[in-house]
Structure 1
Amino acid sequence: MTARLPHTLRADALDNRERILDAARAVFAREGLDVPMREVARRAGVAPATLYRRFPTKEMLVTEAFAAQMYACRAVVDEGLADPDPWHGFCLVIEKMCELNARDGGFTAALTSRFPHAVDFEARREYALRSIAELARRAKEAGRLRPDFALDDVILVLMANSGIQASSPTGKITASRRFAALAIQAFHANPEASPLPPVARLTPPASVSSG
């Protein structure tokens, strides 16, 4: 029995870690990165001491929670850079990053927040932003991207995209694709009235009192 105990403890520790990360991803996606660590612990069903033992700082928790999304982001920008048509590559990045954001709402908050002590995360974040800037430069030189485009416009699109509310996860992704298409048309140096993706049923905003 004692020979099996360490293995049991390791399994419990792994289970706690995954529950914490799942809870963190969910709560950060819904409520942003300002949620207290104790609230993450409560959602995960673990004691605060357990959370702090695994993740002593919020930076460590956020960077670990969104590690997979940062790798996915790198894959997207690398695919865009590899496209021989810079405008097509730029459009691909906007489309896929918006969809990635629609699937993991907290990802944009992580991408747009600075974590100076999380070296690996910061390096991946800076690589993604530099790559998008390089792709935009190429698209401008090709005469396809409007000359007054700035990298902050991509952040603006992602922040707006993260505010989409729909009646279902599928509806949110559908709405995100349409929003990305609208953004891409706005970014084009010579906008064309090309067909948009399907309309999604969106959650109506809260009613505003007239009085």
Structure 2
Amino acid sequence: MADLLPQKLRADARDNRDRLLEAARELFSERGLEVPMREIARRAEVGPATLYRRFPTKQDLIDAAFTDELHQCATIVHDGCADPDPWRGLCAVVRGITELNAHNQGFVDAFVTSYPGAVDFTAHRAGMLHALADLCRRAREAGALRPDIVLDDLILVLMAGRGLASAPPEIRPAAARRLSALALEAFRAAPAPAELPPPARVALVVLAERG
């Protein structure tokens, strides 16, 4: 029993850290980097003392949240490329990156605007593009991806998905799923009618916009 207590404490600490980072990314995405630390702690459902114990300064939290965001992106691409079925891996990448961008792209944009030289994006992007190019090649060779689809088409879809960050938070998940499904049906070498996710009601959002 004595050994279980330290394990539980470590697990609780990891859970608190994950919740704080998730809350920070959500609030930074919604309202920018000026969100007060206490609001982040409240969203994560932890006390301010826990927040400051994990992240003594706001800059520490911002840096950790952005590093975690890049790690999530890299993990999605790595796991998709490691799938022995290249089409399944490509589908996982398109869905995963689109959902990630829809959820937190506002935070990424705010970070890059505030700290333009903080991260070597050239190296990060070059590694991702190289891996995705190889995944597309494998999917074409397997006969799953249309032969006229190139890496630029995949990047075009992922860039379009970034625009979902401007939609109201409550419709972003449905919009990301729908966009991914439509794109993948267009990419498929032998389209077979499949049931699409429920549509995202974005027309009503556009109608409600002013200006």
TM-score range, shorter chain: 0.5 to 0.7
- Cα distance, 1:84 vs structure 2: 1.0
As a proportion of its length, which structure holds more helix? 2
SS of the aligned residue for 2:206 comes to coil
Whole-Å separation in 2 of the counterparts to 1:127 and 1:30? 29
Correspondence for 2:181: 181
Contact in 1 for aligned 2:26/2:103 (Cα 8 Å): no
- Cα distance, 1:158 vs structure 2: 2.2
- Cα distance, 1:181 vs structure 2: 0.3
Please give the per-residue CA displacement for 1:59-111, whole angstroms capped at 9, x wherever unaligned. xxx9865321110111111111121111111111001111111111237759x
Correspondence for 1:85: 85
One-letter amino acid of the structure 2 residue matched with residue 118 of structure 1: V
- Cα distance, 1:125 vs structure 2: 2.5
Contact in 1 for aligned 2:102/2:163 (Cα 8 Å): no
Q: Kindly tell me: are residues 135 and 199 of structure 1, through their superposed partners in 2, closer, same or farther at Cα, counting changes over 3 Å?
A: same
| Runs (5+) with no aligned partner, structure 1 | 1-17, 32-38, 46-53, 56-61
One-letter amino acid of the structure 1 residue matched with residue 97 of structure 2: M
SS of the aligned residue for 1:105 comes to helix
One-letter amino acid of the structure 2 residue matched with residue 189 of structure 1: A
Which stretch of structure 1 is more off in the superposition, 86-95 or 140-149? Answer: 140-149
SS of the aligned residue for 1:149 comes to coil
Which stretch of structure 1 is more off in the superposition, 137-146 or 149-158? Answer: 149-158
Contact in 2 for aligned 1:98/1:180 (Cα 8 Å): yes
Q: Kindly tell me: are residues 204 and 117 of structure 1, through their superposed partners in 2, closer, same or farther at Cα, counting changes over 3 Å?
A: closer
One-letter amino acid of the structure 1 residue matched with residue 89 of structure 2: G
The count of aligned residue pairs is 166
Correspondence for 1:69: 69
Q: Kindly tell me: are residues 207 and 100 of structure 1, through their superposed partners in 2, closer, same or farther at Cα, counting changes over 3 Å?
A: closer
SS of the aligned residue for 2:163 comes to coil
RMSD of aligned residue pairs (Cα, Å): 3.7
Whole-Å separation in 1 of the counterparts to 2:128 and 2:84? 19
Contact in 2 for aligned 1:63/1:118 (Cα 8 Å): no
Correspondence for 2:154: 154
Correspondence for 1:204: 205
Contact in 2 for aligned 1:30/1:105 (Cα 8 Å): no
Please give the per-residue CA displacement for 1:98-150, whole angstroms capped at 9, x wherever unaligned. 1111111237759x99x78733x433332222111111110011111112222
Overall identity of the aligned pairs, in %: 39
Which stretch of structure 1 is more off in the superposition, 160-169 or 180-189? Answer: 160-169
One-letter amino acid of the structure 1 residue matched with residue 75 of structure 2: A
- Give TM-score scaled by structure 1 length: 0.61
Whole-Å separation in 1 of the counterparts to 2:200 and 2:169? 10
- Give TM-score scaled by structure 2 length: 0.61
Whole-Å separation in 2 of the counterparts to 1:63 and 1:136? 32
Whole-Å separation in 2 of the counterparts to 1:90 and 1:128? 13
Correspondence for 2:128: 128
Whole-Å separation in 1 of the counterparts to 2:134 and 2:108? 20
- Cα distance, 1:201 vs structure 2: 2.7
Whole-Å separation in 2 of the counterparts to 1:197 and 1:162? 19
